[in-house]
Every structure is written in C-alpha cells, then in structure tokens.
Amino acid sequence: MSTLLPCIGQIAPVVIKGSQQSTIHRYNMAFNGYGQKTIDVWLPSNYPNGGPYDVLYMQDGQMLFDSTSNWNHQEWQVDEVVSRLMAADSIRPVIIVGIWNAGTLRHSEYFPFKPLLTLSTSFRDSLQAQKVGENYSLFQAPIYSDNYLEFLVKTLKPFIDRNYKVNSQMDHTIIGGSSMGGLISLYALCEYPGIFGAAICMSTHWPGNFVLDNREIPNAMLAYLRKNLPTDGKHKLYFDHGTEGIDSFYAVTQWKVDALLLTKNFGINNFSSMSFKGADHTERDWARRLHYPLNFILSKQP
C-alpha cells in the first residue's frame, strides 16, 4: 500500500476538485485492443488518513460525479452520498474507482459473454442485428465483456492496489453499477469470486436488450447463476429495482434470482433485494437510494 505519486510509471493523473473537499484523479489507461479507458479515482477529503480504504469499482464512471460530463445531465451524486455516510461514521472508509463506459460500445462491453454462448445461434444472430431506432445498432461490436473483466482484474485493480492506500483483500473489494452495469457487476463477482467480495446491482437489466419481455436472456442468466454463484457464504449481494419505466420489467426475474440465492448460502446478512415504488430508470433515482447499498455492503458491523 502506498500513497499516489505525482506520476506513476507513464501515467500521470489529471487532478480535479470534487465536492465536499474531495479529489478526483483522472487517468487514461490502455485497454489492449480496445483503445483507452478513462478512469476516475475519487478520494474523500481526509484521504489518506484513516486508511486502509475499501475500494468500490463502479461502472458508467462518467455518470457518477459530474452531471455536465454525460449525455442526460444527471449524476449519481456518489461523492456527496459517500462523503455524508463517512462523515456520519456509518460506513467503512472507501475510495471510488469510476470506469467510464465505452459509449456506443457499452452493450458489447457489459453483456455477460458466457450466458450469451448458451443462447441459440438464431437468437444470438438476432441480438447482434438488433437496432435501437432506425439506424443505431445496439451491439456495435462483438461482445467483449470477458476482455473487459480481465482488464479490471489484471490491469486496473493491480494499479489501484499499488498506488493507493487500500485494502486489496476480496472482502474489501466491491463492484457495482446499474442497469447493464448491474448485470456486468454480478457477472464479475461470479467470474472472479476471489477478487470481488461484494456486488451492488441496482435496476439490474435482466432483459439484456430492449426487447424487454424476452425470456431467453433472463433464463440464460438464471442458468448461469445456478452454476456459478459463489456458495461459501463469504460474499455479499445487493439488488434493487423501481416500478416505473424500464424498471417495471425487472421484478419477475428478480424474484427468481432472489429465490435462487436463498439456495446458495445467501441470507439476511449477505443478501438484500429491495423494490422502490415510483422509482424510474434514472441516475436521479439511483442517487436517491444509493445509501441503501452502501450501508449494507460497507457496514462497519461484522
């Protein structure tokens, strides 16, 4: 563990002032074969005092801290929420690593690859050909989520562990996101249970595409989870969904996932699933309830 040097190897961060006297270090990191990844490392105002810190890796990094850096001018207000909870001594000290999504390649990056392989060839072909509107293909490239997770585990996490005052152990390493970001975060925990000790999956996009009532993808995910969920009782999972908009399609699959988890050594101490009446599929809604997963996953209670 070490504090960040002004320049690490060939990577020098851009330092940005965050809210609540926090700091953001912004990096552009090579993602072999896929160009550059923008990474935001959010540090609370008292960093590095009080460490070592837990690490929460979050998808859709451009949506977390600054509403001016994204397409819909909304944000999760992660810096404000985490700062408030830490000031109240409600959660363990944590830094946030926001991984910016790939823009038009977001679905190709976040769609779980191994469940994809269990779908019929005809369904996979129809998935790759699916369009949003008249001209925009949902999948702009072949699905490469396994490559993305390998980048997180073999490039990004070692970088964070070397250069920040963090606890690198599994039970202090969390991954999270919403919608497709929730889906890839769950997949990450299943693929790398020795790396990620917990996952935050908000408004998990079980349909996997925009044919929201399809059953093929949710069933493929359920079959994958039956085989790959960790069962040692050492991991924590948080799920939620709203009742409006896209979120209104999630409850049926979420109930099945919840029932499955109860057979896999998940219970009241390491599993939470919540429904929020009136909540929609927006960053504003996720910001309003972000304290729930943070309090659950980062609880100071054993």
Q: In this predicted structure, what is the pLDDT of residue 74?
A: 66
Burial 107-141 (b: 16+ CB within 10 A, else e): bbbbbbbebbeebeeeeeeebbeeeeeeeeebbee
Give residues with Cβ within 8 angstroms of 65, minimum separation 6: 18, 19, 24, 40, 42, 75, 76, 77, 78, 79, 98
For the stretch 59-115, pLDDT in tens is 999 999 976 665 556 678 999 999 999 999 999 999 999 999 999 999 999 999 999
Q: Return the higher-pLDDT residue of 180 and 302.
A: 180
For the stretch 148-182, pLDDT in tens is 999 999 999 999 999 999 999 999 999 999 999 99
- Is 0.75 surpassed by the pTM of this model? yes
Q: In this predicted structure, what is the pLDDT of residue 66?
A: 76
For the stretch 218-229, pLDDT in tens is 999 999 999 999
Q: Which fold has domain 14-297?
A: Rossmann fold (3.40.50)
Q: Locate 98 and state its tokens.
A: 């926001």
Do 60 and 47 meet the contact criterion of CB atoms below 8 Å apart?
no
Closest CA to 197 of 232, 163, 235: 235
Span 185-202, average pLDDT: 99
Burial 248-274 (b: 16+ CB within 10 A, else e): ebbeebbebbeeebeebebeeebbbbb
Span 38-61, average pLDDT: 96
* Cα 42 from Cα 164, distance rounded (Å): 11
* Cα 234 from Cα 230, distance rounded (Å): 8
Please report, for the chain, the start and end positions of each structural domain, with discontinuous segments joined by +.
14-297
For the stretch 202-257, pLDDT in tens is 999 999 998 899 999 999 999 999 999 999 999 999 999 999 999 999 999 999 99
What is the Cα 302 distance to its own chain's centre? 23
Span 136-148, average pLDDT: 93
The whole-chain average pLDDT of the chain stands at 92
Q: In this predicted structure, what is the pLDDT of residue 128?
A: 86
Residue 90 backbone class (left: φ over 0; alpha: ψ -120 to 50; beta: rest): alpha
